[in-house]
Amino acid sequence: MSNYSIDEFIRKTKQDEAENEFFELETERILEVNLSDQVWAKAGSMISYNGSIKFEREGILEHGVGKMFKKAFSGEGSSLMKAAGKGRLYLADQGKKVTIFDLNNESITVNGNDLLAFEPGISWDIKLMKKVAGMVSGGLFNVTLEGRGRVAITSHYEPLTLLVRPGEPVITDPNATVAWSGHLKPEFRTDVSLKTFIGRGSGESIQMEFKGEGFVIVQPFEEVMTTGNGSS
């Protein structure tokens, strides 16, 4: 059904007043944050809020000099904003599907473009993939998050989780790779032969190879990595 009266449409799409978890999926593409203190979120991801909430762009020295230098090389896509106060905050990112993880002293590494929000008690660190910075549009960076608390990530369409087992490595396209077990260290490799079949005139096909034991989350979409001007 696509024809509604105004009242029918409101009933079908209105926010759920009963939900009060810190992170809630208001829809599969909108994250509701029931804020009572503060939260870190991707800069520019706020679509609506109510209550008394103040937004502040991440300070250049907010997390120490080491992370400041990493940010300088990882592009605008790694920028975070801090939302502080009390109220309901709604976050989204280009209509991408939102998934919430509840970390229990675990770690997960997320592609910088696909991190939407996380609780302030979670520790994090930016990792720049230097080997492919000049080979993939805009370079690649990821964020490793660990501790206890919720993390919200995004993906284009339905994500698929691939299991990595000893002796059975998983190989992915970097532009389709969303997240992976925090302890896995992907290796980058190029496949020169691919461009012969695809007809690419320049550049080699870059692949990520995951070895060991864990998981990798991919999406059915090759995302153009964020460049320094914040576009994607």
Q: What is the pLDDT of residues 167-194, one digit of tens each?
A: 999 999 988 999 999 999 998 887 666 5
In-domain check, residue 191? yes
Q: Tell me what pLDDT residue 197 has.
A: 54
Comparing CA positions, the residue from 99, 95, 46 lying closest to residue 232 is 95
Q: What is the pLDDT of residues 44-98, one digit of tens each?
A: 999 999 999 999 886 544 555 455 445 544 444 457 889 999 999 999 999 999 9
CATH code for position 25: 3.60.160.10
**How many domains are there within the chain?**
1
Would residue 69 be called left, alpha or beta, if left means φ above 0 and alpha means ψ between -120 and 50 degrees?
A: alpha
In-domain check, residue 190? yes
Q: How far apart are CA 28 and CA 99, in angstroms?
A: 8
Q: What is the pLDDT of residues 203-229, one digit of tens each?
A: 557 889 999 999 999 999 987 654 433
Answer for the pair 180, 140: CB distance below 8 angstroms, yes or no: no
In-domain check, residue 169? yes
Give the burial class of 101: count Cβ atoms within 10 A of its Cβ; 0-12 exposed, 13-18 middle, 19 or more buried: middle
Q: Tell me what pLDDT residue 72 has.
A: 45
In-domain check, residue 7? no
CB neighbours of 113 closer than 8 A, spacing ≥ 6? Answer: 77, 223, 225, 226, 232
In-domain check, residue 157? yes
Question: What is the percentage of the chain residues whose pLDDT exceeds 90?
Answer: 52
Q: What's the pTM value of the predicted model, to 2 decimals?
A: 0.80
Q: How far apart are CA 56 and CA 58, in angstroms?
A: 6
In-domain check, residue 231? no
Residue range of the domain that includes 198: 18-218
In-domain check, residue 203? yes
Q: Tell me what pLDDT residue 64 has.
A: 55
Q: Tell me what pLDDT residue 116 has.
A: 96
